[in-house]
Amino acid sequence: MKVVIIFDSIFGNTAKVAHAMADAIKTNVDVKAIQVGQFSDEDLKDCTHLLIGSPTRAFGPTSAIKQMLANLDRNSLQNVKISVFDTRMAIDEIDVKILKFLEKRLGYASDTMQKIIKRRLKKQSVPWSSYIVNGSEGPLREGELQRAEAWAVEQIQ
| Amino acid, single-letter form, for residue 57 | R
**CB 87, min distance to ligand FMN, A:** 3
C-alpha span between 66 and 111 (Å, rounded)? 12
Footprint on residues 87-146 left by ligand FMN (CB under 6 A): 87-89, 103, 108, 133, 136-138
Query: Residue 11 CB: number of other CB atoms within 10 A?
Result: 14
Footprint on residues 50-79 left by ligand FMN (CB under 6 A): 55-59
**CB 68, min distance to ligand FMN, A:** 15
Considering beta carbons, is residue 16 or 49 the nearer one to ligand FMN? Answer: 16
26 conformational bin, left if phi > 0, alpha if psi -120 to 50, beta if neither = alpha
C-alpha span between 120 and 68 (Å, rounded)? 12
If binding means CB under 6 A, how many residues of this protein chain bind ligand FMN? 21
Asked if 61 contacts 109 with a C-beta cutoff of 8 angstroms, the reply is: yes
Can residue 11 be called a binding residue for ligand FMN (CB under 6 A)? yes
Residues that bind ligand FMN (CB under 6 A): 9-15, 55-59, 87-89, 103, 108, 133, 136-138
